[in-house]
Chain A
Amino acid sequence: MADYRELWQKLGMDLEKHDVLCEVLPQLYGGVYLSQENRPEGMNYYNFVVSEVHGLRIKELDDHKQQGGKVVGTFCIFVPDELILAAGAIGVGLCAGSQFWIEDGERVLPRNICPLVKAFTGAKLSGTCPYFQSCDMIIGETTCDAKKKAWEILDEYVDTYVMDLPQMKREKDYKKWAEEIYDLKDKLEKLTGNTITEEKLHEAIKLCNRKRKALQRLYNARKALNVPISGKDALLISQIAFYDNPERFIEMTNKLCDELEERIEKGISINKKGDKRILISGTPMAVPNWKIHHIVETSGAVVVAEETCTGTRYFENLVDETPTTMDGMINALADRYLKINCACFTPNKGREEDIIRLAKEYRADGVIYNSLQFCHTYNIEYAKVEKALKEAGIPVIFIESDYSNDDIGQIQTRVEAFLEMIGQ
């Protein structure tokens, strides 16, 4: 077994504390993932990535840094990966899906803010996330108040750059976002010492579009009546997309999709006849937050899609590959990214339309609206979404939760009642 302790030490990690995480992860993964029946063989790749989650990929980041490369951490799907890649840096989406980091986050943050913000802050402060420790810079954004203020604290620990995301979608907001993307380009060029040329940016746009297409293909397979892959597995793949090597991820995900399409043809399914099809909508689910999916899929239902940042919002809409000038490409990036319907925007009618469209496309029997605790924008937006879904005749239930185990029984009971209700 490879020993990564020397590498972790070099990254300034708290080895003793990190060991606690290493100890529980195999057991959790075994219980949630490996206990599933009839998984596609292609999931072995993602089992591999999880097994080496703090090993092989961290070694790859270290090798890149040894050669003078930079690693940049991000927390939000509005930050354009294309620019990071075009600057010759590696981008990693930083995990913030564990209760493990909450206590350390609460050392510097109030308790009554969202667990995702507390977790990523705690991950840095505790020195237990090797991805965070590998970052030369992190890119934050202004998608919520908790994040906005947390960046100021994180900046004391790691170089933190913040993109100012407009919160409306008027013509001037698109222009403003394009300016922000230009500013990020300058910042990344300074950090890496590399110029982002038109050629490099165009290549990066094509690469990210290929990754989006692989994820679109994966999600398309889930529209089948005989669902070839569990929601849990699809969620894991989306989560891995945020930090894996993009080329390898695209290759392995397309291979898995070949298998899924074959399964659909042969009628091989992970669901039983009569299992309810559920669309999950709401806040992102970062590794290892598999809680709601696990509850749903052990209650006689299958999750067929996620209208979340770790779901369709991440890969819907491609960047237009036609422009080849810098201005043209930056505008194409601004256009694509501002199409994302996040609850931080006002008004946000597009998200209601997205949820209704996805519920129909994926033939969902019902929607579980899932919001992290204290996530004001998603919590408040539920009222509008609920009204729109009711008008469209789509059943919906609201679940607010965090990363703890305390409410699992309660959520299970509510989910079971919801599934029974939509079955009538």
Chain B
Amino acid sequence: MEYDYYILFNTHTNGLMLANKLKENNIKYTIVPTPRQLSKCCGIAITYALKDEKAILDIIDKSAIKVSGLHSLERKNIDIKFI
């Protein structure tokens, strides 16, 4: 089974701050809409590779950036349906 890894935030400002830090540290990340399985509110999340998790946690610890949790979701192939 494959998983995707997400960092959630309580404000987009914290998300953008962390994105900048990850960029400075050459850690690959992608800003994505928060999956509904993880939160009912719209907004940004960040996906990352599991191998970078420790380094990311270190960056978060050493900064004033607040995250509302790290999560993983099983990757599923879903048929694309336009809305």
Binding site for B on A (CB under 8 A): 1-5, 19, 21-32, 34, 41, 44-45, 47-48, 50-56, 98-100, 288-291, 294, 403-405, 408
Task: Known A1-B68, A21-B83, A56-B12; judge A51-B34 contact (CB<8 A).
Answer: yes
Determine the chain B residues whose CB is within 8 A of the CB of A29 once the complex forms.
32-33
B66 to chain A, nearest CB (A): 12
A56 to chain B, nearest CB (A): 6
B52 to chain A, nearest CB (A): 15
Contact A100 B31 (CB under 8 A): no
Contact A1 B39 (CB under 8 A): yes
Determine the chain B residues whose CB is within 8 A of the CB of A30 once the complex forms.
32-33, 35
Contact B10 A1 (CB under 8 A): yes
* Of the residues A2, A25, A55, contact of B83 by C-beta under 8 Å: A25
A26 to chain B, nearest CB (A): 4
Q: Please report whether the interface of chain A is mostly helix, strand, loop or mixed according to DSSP.
A: helix
Is the CB of B25 closer than 8 A to any CB of chain A?
A: no
Is the CB of B1 closer than 8 A to any CB of chain A?
A: no
Binding site for A on B (CB under 8 A): 8-12, 15-16, 19, 23, 29-36, 39-45, 68, 78, 80-83
* Of the residues A5, A22, A32, A291, contact of B36 by C-beta under 8 Å: A22
Determine the chain A residues whose CB is within 8 A of the CB of B9 once the complex forms.
1
A53–B83 Cα distance when bound, in Å, is 15
Task: Known A44-B19, A48-B16, A51-B44; judge A98-B83 contact (CB<8 A).
Answer: yes
B24 to chain A, nearest CB (A): 13
Determine the chain A residues whose CB is within 8 A of the CB of B11 once the complex forms.
2
Task: Known A3-B41, A51-B31, A51-B42; judge A31-B80 contact (CB<8 A).
Answer: yes
